[in-house]
Amino acid sequence: SVVPFDMSGGPDILDEAVSTALQAASPSGIDIIVLNAGQYQCSPALDTNLDVALPDLMQINFASPVQLSQKLIQKDRWKERKHGHIVTIASLMGRGASPLNAAYSASKHALRGYFHALAAEEKSWLRVDVVLPGATDTGLWDNSY
């Protein structure tokens, strides 16, 4: 099942999304979560209003996917079941950077780093795939900072 929701909504929205997903799942629980959220930023680093852009970028691109995955792992008892698979969609900007993407790149580096560390810590039962796509023709470009 697909459970769409707004990743900028905060902890209550994340709790509601996990509850909705668990209700839609089979009795055996959820086996995989695909985290595909993003907000884009395109401006010179020193011209970016970080007071506005940074909190939103870090919440949507990093904090919400991390919090959502942790809530699901705990509520669906993945560790106890010794099974789970996380696929997170990061970006090529999470591996390197290019001009005009400093804050966006930082948020995707954080996402990639967190999930690689989680995979190393829980390798006996958790599979983590971090996908690094390049530029993709989506609405992401329309709402950039």
Radius of gyration from C-alpha coordinates of the chain: 16
Sheet containing 84-89: which strands, arranged edge to edge?
Answer: 32-35, 84-89, 126-131
Number of alpha carbons in the 13 Å side-chain half-sphere of residue 38: 28
Rounded Cα distance, 145 and 130, in Å: 24
Rounded Cα distance, 134 and 131, in Å: 10
Annotated catalytic residue 145: no
Residues belonging to the active site = 104
